[in-house]
Chains A and B, each alone.
Chain A
Amino acid sequence: MKLMTYRKLRMHFTEHWVKIAIGLALIILLILAIWGMMSLESFYRNLTIAQMPISILLAGLNAGIFVFMYMTFLHGGFSKIKQAAVKGQDVNIHWGDVIGMEEAKQEAKEVVDLIKDRTKLLKIGGKILKGLLMVGPPGCGKTYLAKAIATEAGIPFISMSGSEFTEIFVGVGASRVRKLFKKARNLAYGHGACIIFIDELDAIGRQRSFSFMGGGQETNSTQNQLLVEMDGLQEKDYNVIIIGATNAAEGVLDEALLRPGRFDRKIYIDRPNLQEREKVFDYYLKKVKCDQDIDIGRLARQAVHKSPAEIENMIKEAALIATRNQKETVGHKELSEAMERIDMGLKHRKHMTKEEKEMVAFHETGHLVVMYMLHPTDDVFKASIISRKESLGVVHSQPREELYTHNKEKLLADIKVSISGYVAEKIRFGTTSTGVSSDFKKSMQIASYMVWRLGMSDAGYIGDYTAIPENLLSESLKEKLNAETDKIIKNCLKDVEDLLKKEWPIVERFAKKLIEKEELEYDEIEAIFKECGKSHNCKKPA
């Protein structure tokens, strides 16, 4: 205890010796000034006191200018670290607050244990943890997790962004790295350990480039310094842990940075799965007043591939919409509208003729019916003929569950859904519109992908033909592959035509309803299909 107190005092002295020296000098000067002033005759004493405010002001101004000039031009003022260290307890984010990343949390807990039980680890000859790299898409809680680590470990936490190291001047970044580590070592000396959190590590951790023009020299020197400092830590006995966070894929970062001894441990923080999303929704919905009948499970299903930050944003947006609508609580309608805004953009009504509107309604109905009746994985959440961004209408669907692989049936269903708008237009009007262009593009891309790369044609062409240089592929093979692509499209077209002709009354009903209401929600769509005795083709998740 005494040792820690001594070390803390020494650390404070080492860290703030300039301030302490200046403070002492000021106190001595003040005492001397008072002493000197008391020895003056009252006339000069009064004169001095009367002039003191302006003297102090002028002296302060002069000192300020001098310090600014000195620090800027002579003492590497550009390399000053503005970020102050905060105590772990002050961060105040606990494990309980970390939700939607259970696996990452478990790994982080281990890291905290390692930081805490450093002595135990050393006794059994374990290797001290030096660096922890958190990789994952944006908004998944990397920074949040780092804060939780700091809180739970109860040690000082210095947070910096990778971009804070980059400057136009060569050497400034490296200087900042040196100062950062010096500060961290000091804190580690006084508090037993210290965490340096570098957000957006890729800003300085990118693979080093060597250009004869000298480009990238600053980034290289910054990274080199970081590598040296991280290596240097092993030689000295300071418990400084570097946590890096990046969205960049592993290949983007420099290999030297990722080798053991630097960032020895990696935590992948991915988007939350269904259960995790439910927890995230549950967590954030508790922070706003919401209706009791909100189906969190449905919201979680609807928010497939959404990060916790996006979910939080969605709930905040819903709260804003509720306020605008003079509602006291957030309901499903507001949440749905918020999600739609985020996913599909803001509505902006375009003035369309009756015929155009009808064409769009049948086009979207085609998508809707085929999606509902044929698609094996996706669920229809909304159909709308209100224009958004560039599209005149939209059918909003989401997979019921994250699927990391897609089978042939799913891809064929995607093609069918895409061309169903075209088919519906043709059946109803005997002609088609320009609205099919993006649908065709998507369907052709999928069909071509299936044939050329995935071996999903019926003709037995197995392999990725795009891997072979194009000049090595014969024209006849190309023709055959393209013919297979065409065949898939045509087969899909036929299936869709058969389905829509067969279910045309349903199509008519949905189109009419869409023209009338412009938008149909999940519940309304479900109700109409149930009325018509139709059920979803989609397999319910386990």
Chain B
Amino acid sequence: MSAFLTKYKALIAFLILTGLSACNKPSYPIGKIEESVLKLCKNEYKLDNVKIKILGSTLGVYIPVEGLIDPDLKLNEKAGKKIENVALSIHRVITSTDMPLKFYILTARDTKTTGAEFILTGFVYDVIRVRLFDISRGEYFQRILRDFRFNPAIAGEQKVKELFNALDQNTSIAESLKPIFYPIYTIGKKDSQKIEITDIESKELSDRESLFYVKTTEGYEASPGFEAYLTVFPPGFKNEYLILVDMSSFISPVKEIVSKYFYSNNEIRERSLKDTFEQYKDFGVIGIDGFPKKDMDLGWFLSQQISRRIKSIFEEDKKLKDDFKVASSQGEIKDKAFWFKFNITSNSNQAMDEKIIFSKIIKMAGTVLHLYAFEEYESVEFINTALGEKKVYLSKKDLERFRKNEIKIDSLL
């Protein structure tokens, strides 16, 4: 036995090391993720207002930050440091856990400036790879999604609340709005009406527009002659409203208010606002509570990453930046089909520019999808809205062939 031990010292040491690695327990096991992130933020960075929520394989982290943006609408340096610290805590936890997390979304929202938020979305495997020096830090920064924006739902909700508060004031604007809030301002005694918001749901319709489904409890005293309505609308009855807010209009952001009840053809009618609200698609990722609205998937993440990379291609290269101008870039995946819509114009308007734009973008998209070994798609469509909706459609196979230089851009255009 001792001879065996002496002879195979190196092998035994290796086996011990392998054994050690096998029985290596995760530092942040399943069930302690939230607690761990909070503990790290609190103990190491003195941040005690962080909130955590896990949705499937997505870790949502929310931190309200005072003074997120400077007066010049740029990210505040101190706030940036806080975000960095929280992100570091998240990275530490997601790399040392046995929970199969795929994504993390960190939302930092300004406590003062309504709707201003910074969203950091990352793929867990990218964090591991950059820590293993498998990808460069430059590549890593291209892979994470950083959004600094005004959330129309947050700002809109504020406007909705202001609207209801305004009804109590005797202003000319309030007087003009009151008839829309049917029926209490029609059947109630003046100054006896009271509307209390019990619930608000919102949907982001675009970068600026948001739709709100508001539930209320309403009280009033019936005006003389309207006592009969007390049986239909007893004081304290439940009402609902749909309110469309467009934040691009600073003066009158509330564009439309729809009440559940309305009077038509001499009778009181009602409509299902909830059904109407449900019919609208929500383009927002982050909810009012600061957490993601749903579990992330790699397809969506890649569509967003590629759309951002499209911008960066023409903005980071000096020559391309001089020759081209990128106005917008969007991406999405639906029914296993990617589409990327961008607006890129050439400063010189040369014939070759179209080829350059598409070849650069298609090559980049193919490379990104290949690097992530993403297979869950069937086609990719590229649309340049600046070139008369010039479209290039490629199947997955063709995209791969183009990446390998097996087909030329001329055959695609």
Contact = CB atoms under 8 A, between A and B. Distances in A.
B92 interface: yes
A53 B14 contact: yes
Nearest to A50: B21
Nearest to A40: B27
Nearest to B95: A43
Interface in A94-121: none
A43 B21 CA distance: 11
Given A47-B132, A53-B14, A42 B21 contact: no
Interface in A31-52: 41-47, 49-50, 52
Max count, chain B CB within 10 A of own CB: residue among A43, A45, A50: A43
A30 to B, nearest CB: 12
B128 A43 contact: yes
B20 interface: yes
B411 interface: no
B24 interface: yes
Interface in A1-56: 41-47, 49-50, 52-53, 56
Contact of A41 (B13, B20, B96): B96
B17 A43 contact: no
A44 to B, nearest CB: 8
Contact of B17 (A41, A44, A47, A49): A49
B338 to A, nearest CB: 32
A41 B27 CA distance: 6
A53 B95 CA distance: 22
A53 B17 contact: yes
Contacts of A52: 17
Contacts of B132: 47
Contacts, number: 34
B236 interface: no
B27 A46 contact: no
A47 B96 CA distance: 11
A45 B92 CA distance: 12
Nearest to B13: A56
B360 interface: no
B161 interface: no
Contacts of A42: 24-28, 96-97
A41 B92 CA distance: 8
Interface in B60-89: none
A49 B26 contact: no
A49 B96 contact: no
B137 interface: no
B24 A45 contact: yes
B149 interface: no
B131 interface: yes
B95 A41 contact: yes
A40 to B, nearest CB: 8
A331 B52 CA distance: 98
Contacts of B17: 49, 52-53
A45 B24 CA distance: 8
Interface in B2-24: 13-14, 17, 20-21, 24
Interface string A338-356: 0000000000000000000
A46 B24 contact: yes
Nearest to A57: B10
A49 B24 contact: yes
A49 B21 contact: yes
Interface in B93-148: 95-97, 128, 131-132
Max count, chain A CB within 10 A of own CB: residue among B17, B24, B97: B24
Max count, chain A CB within 10 A of own CB: residue among B13, B21, B128: B21
Given A41-B27, A41-B92, A41-B95, A46 B14 contact: no
Nearest to A34: B20
Nearest to A52: B17
Contacts of B92: 41, 43
Contacts of A47: 131-132
Contacts of B26: 42
A41 B131 CA distance: 13
Nearest to B18: A49
A275 B128 CA distance: 87
A56 B14 CA distance: 10
A47 B133 CA distance: 12
A319 B191 CA distance: 133
Nearest to B14: A53
B131 A46 contact: no
B29 to A, nearest CB: 9
A41 B13 CA distance: 23
Contacts of B27: 41-43, 45
Contacts of A56: 13
A303 B107 CA distance: 104
B14 A43 contact: no
Interface in A328-387: none
Nearest to A56: B13
A44 B95 CA distance: 9
Nearest to B91: A43
Contacts of A45: 24, 27
Interface string A141-183: 0000000000000000000000000000000000000000000
A226 to B, nearest CB: 38
Interface in A482-516: none
Contacts of A50: 21
Nearest to B127: A43
B96 A43 contact: yes
A455 to B, nearest CB: 73
B315 to A, nearest CB: 34
A429 B20 CA distance: 97
A44 B97 CA distance: 12
A53 B18 CA distance: 10
A183 B17 CA distance: 39
A303 to B, nearest CB: 44
A5 B9 CA distance: 32
Interface in A42-82: 42-47, 49-50, 52-53, 56
A42 B24 CA distance: 7
A473 B20 CA distance: 97
B12 to A, nearest CB: 13
A482 B143 CA distance: 115
A397 B92 CA distance: 96
Nearest to B26: A42
Interface string B357-375: 0000000000000000000
Contacts of A43: 27, 92, 95-96, 128, 131
Contact of A49 (B13, B20, B95, B128): B20
A491 B385 CA distance: 138
A44 B91 CA distance: 12
Contacts of B96: 41-44
A50 B21 CA distance: 8
A358 B24 CA distance: 94
A38 B135 CA distance: 27
Contacts of A44: 96
A42 B27 CA distance: 5
A41 B93 CA distance: 9
A46 B21 contact: yes
A52 B13 CA distance: 10
Max count, chain A CB within 10 A of own CB: residue among B13, B96, B128: B96
A316 B128 CA distance: 71
Contacts of A53: 14, 17
A46 to B, nearest CB: 6
A312 B17 CA distance: 54
Interface of B: 13-14, 17, 20-21, 24-28, 92, 95-97, 128, 131-132
6 contacts: A41-B95, A42-B24, A43-B27, A43-B95, A43-B131, A49-B21
Q: Which 6 A-B pairs have the closest CB atoms?
A: A43-B95, A41-B96, A49-B21, A42-B96, A43-B96, A42-B27
Given A43-B27, A56-B13, 20 more contacts: A41-B27, A41-B92, A41-B95, A41-B96, A42-B26, A42-B28, A43-B92, A43-B95, A43-B96, A43-B131, A44-B96, A45-B24, A45-B27, A46-B21, A47-B131, A49-B20, A49-B24, A50-B21, A52-B17, A53-B14
